[in-house]
């Protein structure tokens, strides 16, 4: 069945540190089955391109040919306004956590806004995503599995999320234009800050907090992680980020750490 492909075109699948070329092919196949196209690899440990990836893609070679390979997760997040990280297990600091169906409902609302780009980030086969990588994400997604056997194969996890996304798009077909209950209405006056603008803000925030002796990098006590979680929850737009950075610059001037 054909779907509003523009919504699915706005979703980027990012695989971090994948070890097995066959899994990359399996992910490409799962994506193409569900109508997704945009695949990025961050520092793959598998050789890529690789015949095993092509074999397992079962003909989704167009996705493999257009796959972008970068060294840092931050590079793969360029231009993304909403970042969701997947995890098979709960982590130390609780983060906004959704199941795939809740995520799909959320994404559908999100993607009706023209400038939105959503990244779904998947981790390494042996140890998932690091805490630092998960802290680059607005929200976390867990597929509710058997707690005694919780970890899915990477391509199977991509399949579950992209299936829910496709189902959500199918269910909403014909209902576009109903934006009343969206978190950001069409009248919103500034675009959401993208991932890079947010990272630059977090770096500026950390420097300033060190300048004013509020933050001791030798004894961080999760301060930056908790502040990240707070600001990411607020979904700041570009004007708000500029204001916050202006406040930081003024603070640095008063502290005498910036002229």
d(CA 117, CA 195): 10
Q: Which is nearer to ligand SAH, 43 or 88 (CB)?
A: 88
What separation in angstroms does the CA of 52 have from each of 18, 56, 68, 70, 100?
13, 6, 18, 20, 28
Q: Is 16 helix (H, G, I), strand (E, B) or coil?
A: strand
Q: Residue 128 interacts with ligand SAH (CB under 6 A)?
A: yes
Q: Which is nearer to ligand SAH, 33 or 150 (CB)?
A: 150
Q: At what angle do helices 195-211 and 238-255 cross, to 10 degrees?
A: 20
3-state secondary structure 58-117: CCCHHHHHCCEEECCHHHHCCCCCEEEEECCCCCCCCCCEECHHHHHHHHHHHHCCCCCC
Q: Which is nearer to ligand SAH, 10 or 87 (CB)?
A: 87
Beta bridge partners of 42: 16, 70
10, 67, 81, 86: residue in contact with ligand SAH (rule CB under 6 A): 86
Q: Which is nearer to ligand SAH, 15 or 205 (CB)?
A: 15
What separation in angstroms does the CA of 108 have from each of 54, 158, 248?
31, 17, 35
| Closest distance of CB 133 from ligand SAH, Å | 9
Residue 156's nearest CA partner among 29, 258, 3, 47 is 29
Q: Residue 238 interacts with ligand SAH (CB under 6 A)?
A: no
24, 42, 129, 139: residue in contact with ligand SAH (rule CB under 6 A): 129
d(CA 49, CA 105): 34
Could you tell me if 122 and 5 are in contact, meaning their C-beta atoms sit under 8 angstroms apart?
no
- Residues 148-187 vs ligand SAH: string with x where CB under 6 A? --xxx-x--x------------------------------
Q: Residue 43 interacts with ligand SAH (CB under 6 A)?
A: no
Q: Residue 125 interacts with ligand SAH (CB under 6 A)?
A: yes
Q: Residue 14 interacts with ligand SAH (CB under 6 A)?
A: no
Q: Residue 57 interacts with ligand SAH (CB under 6 A)?
A: no
Q: Which is nearer to ligand SAH, 114 or 147 (CB)?
A: 147
Could you tell me if 237 and 191 are in contact, meaning their C-beta atoms sit under 8 angstroms apart?
yes
Q: Residue 119 interacts with ligand SAH (CB under 6 A)?
A: no
72, 131, 145, 250: residue in contact with ligand SAH (rule CB under 6 A): 145
77, 80, 136, 143: residue in contact with ligand SAH (rule CB under 6 A): 143
Q: Residue 89 interacts with ligand SAH (CB under 6 A)?
A: yes
253 class by beta-carbon count within 10 Å (0-12 exposed, 13-18 middle, 19+ buried): exposed
Q: Residue 44 interacts with ligand SAH (CB under 6 A)?
A: no
Point out which span in 141-149, 172-180, 201-209, 221-229 binds ligand SAH (CB under 6 A).
Answer: 141-149
Could you list the residues that contact ligand SAH (CB under 6 A)? 86-89, 122-123, 125-129, 141-143, 145, 150-152, 154, 157
């Amino acid at each position: 069945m054909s779907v509003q492909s523009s919504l699915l075109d706005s979703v980027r699948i990012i695989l971090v540190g994948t070890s097995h070329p066959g899994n990359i092919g399996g992910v490409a196949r799962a994506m193409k089955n569900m109508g997704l196209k945009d695949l990025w690899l961050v520092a793959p440990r598998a050789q890529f391109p690789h015949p095993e990836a092509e074999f397992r893609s079962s003909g989704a070679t167009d996705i493999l040919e257009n796959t972008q390979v970068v060294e840092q997760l931050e590079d793969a997040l360029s231009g993304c306004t909403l970042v969701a990280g997947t995890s098979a297990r709960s982590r130390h600091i609780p983060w906004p956590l959704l199941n795939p169906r809740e995520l799909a409902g959320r994404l559908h609302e999100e993607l009706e806004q023209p400038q939105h780009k959503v990244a779904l980030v998947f981790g390494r086969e042996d140890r998932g995503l690091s805490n630092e990588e998960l802290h680059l994400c607005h929200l976390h997604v867990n597929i509710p599995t058997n707690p005694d056997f919780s970890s899915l194969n990477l391509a199977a996890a991509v399949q579950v999320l992209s299936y829910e996304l496709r189902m959500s798009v199918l269910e909403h077909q014909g209902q576009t234009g109903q934006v009343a209950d969206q978190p950001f209405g069409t009248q919103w006056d500034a675009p959401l800050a993208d991932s890079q603008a947010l990272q630059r803000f977090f770096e500026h925030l950390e420097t300033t907090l060190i300048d004013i002796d509020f933050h001791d990098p030798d004894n961080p006590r999760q301060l930056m992680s908790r502040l990240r979680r707070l600001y990411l929850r607020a979904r700041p737009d570009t004007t708000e980020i500029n204001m916050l950075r202006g406040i930081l610059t003024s603070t640095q001037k008063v502290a005498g750490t910036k002229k």
